A = this chain, B = another copy of it.
Amino acid sequence: MGATIRDVARAAGVSPSTVSRALAMSELVNPATVERVRRAAESLGYQPNPVARGLITGRTRNLGLIVPDLANPFFPGVVKGMQARAREADYAVFVADTDEDPGLESRLARKLAKQVDALVLCSPRLADDELLALAADVTLVLLHRRAGDLPAVLADNAGGMRQAVGHLSALGHRRIGLVAGPVSSWSNSERVAGLRAACAGRVELTELGNFAPTFDGGVAAADIVLASEVTAVIAYNDVMALGLVNMFTARGVGVPGRISVVGCDDIPQAAMSSPPLTTVAVPKEQTGRAGVDLALALLDPAGPGPAPARELGAQLLVRGTTGPAGR
């Protein structure tokens, strides 16, 4: 269909190899020839075939990204960041969604592995050893997950929790509840651990079961939170926090009058709800960008060795769901 390099060669009166060099390594070719080739390529609308190029170079200039659930408003931010950075580096991105299914995650990863130069896994649900096995087959970067010493981009969960507790503590809260997310989530463990450390010796922490990281999970947790007699609650993520607030409101429990609520992630809806949600913001786009940076560094043979992990800051955003501890 499209013009090939041979068509351009014929049109320019040179050999295909000269065309290739003129277009890619023009300093090795006579400027006049380069110009002639350029013009021929232009007039034929020649676009190099990335498949053929990939076959010989072994590089596809594609990156893969696997996320648990695109419908979770947290992930589109990561995807956008990754796409933007990839585009700058002239890479394209395959995106796959696993529906939170580890089996599917594994299969998708292996399938994608052959078509991309590096695979970026965001919040993978796979076990550590499976991730390490995967890393043997393909250049791998982890986002929001640590496994062995695989390259990873992480958020400062501990720092974020510290800020949240500091904020609540300053408002007079002495009993804080934690609505935990899924056990299989590494971020959840991190946040729980960070929260414990931040509370230690200052405020009493009541940990409330594990709930689904969804709006309904938050709804389900709401009454349990109320029964626990805390004056503030921190949820594993914003979606759950929104569920909590919604149910509190339905129960006639004032937020933040009677109870304060803090979420995590800072999804777009957090700022739009009423009252707007106080939350620990995790840099989403930046995570995606950093993932590409790491992947590119790993791919670069002349690179200054691997930068195994990169930690991004987390930032408490005080909005409308936190206030002074009630009577």
Q: Does A60 make an interface contact (CB < 8 A)?
A: yes
Q: Which residues does chain B contribute within 8 Å of A87, judged by CB atoms? A: 108
Q: Which residues does chain B contribute within 8 Å of A2, judged by CB atoms? A: 114, 137
Q: Does A18 make an interface contact (CB < 8 A)?
A: no
Distance of A114 Cα from B114 Cα, bound (Å) = 18
Q: Give the A interface residue count (CB, 8 A).
A: 45
Q: Does A32 make an interface contact (CB < 8 A)?
A: no
Distance of A76 Cα from B52 Cα, bound (Å) = 32
Binds B, one of A9-17, A77-85, A186-194, A252-260: A77-85
Q: Which residues does chain B contribute within 8 Å of A108, judged by CB atoms? A: 87
Interface of A is mostly: helix
Q: Which residues does chain B contribute within 8 Å of A60, judged by CB atoms? A: 51
Q: Which of B79, B111, B115, B269 contacts A51 (CB 8 A)?
A: B115
Distance of A26 Cα from B128 Cα, bound (Å) = 37
Q: Which residues does chain B contribute within 8 Å of A297, judged by CB atoms? A: none
Check if A49 sits within 8 Å of B93, measured CB to CB: no
Check if A77 sits within 8 Å of B71, measured CB to CB: yes
CB distance from A62 to the nearest CB of B (A): 7
Q: Which of B77, B93, B110, B268 contacts A95 (CB 8 A)?
A: B93
Q: Which of B55, B95, B273 contacts A79 (CB 8 A)?
A: B95
Q: What 1/0 flags go to A104-118 for Cβ under 8 Å of B?
A: 000010111011000
* Interface, chain A (partner B; CB < 8 A): 1-2, 47, 49-52, 54-55, 60, 62, 70-71, 73, 76-77, 79-80, 83, 87, 92-97, 99, 108, 110-112, 114-115, 137, 215, 242-243, 246, 249-250, 268-269, 272-274
- Can you list 28 contacts pairing A with B, beta carbon distance less than 8 Å? A1-B137, A2-B114, A47-B110, A47-B114, A49-B114, A50-B114, A51-B54, A51-B60, A51-B114, A52-B55, A70-B70, A70-B79, A71-B73, A73-B73, A76-B76, A79-B95, A79-B97, A80-B97, A80-B99, A83-B96, A87-B108, A92-B111, A94-B94, A215-B272, A243-B272, A246-B274, A250-B274, A269-B269
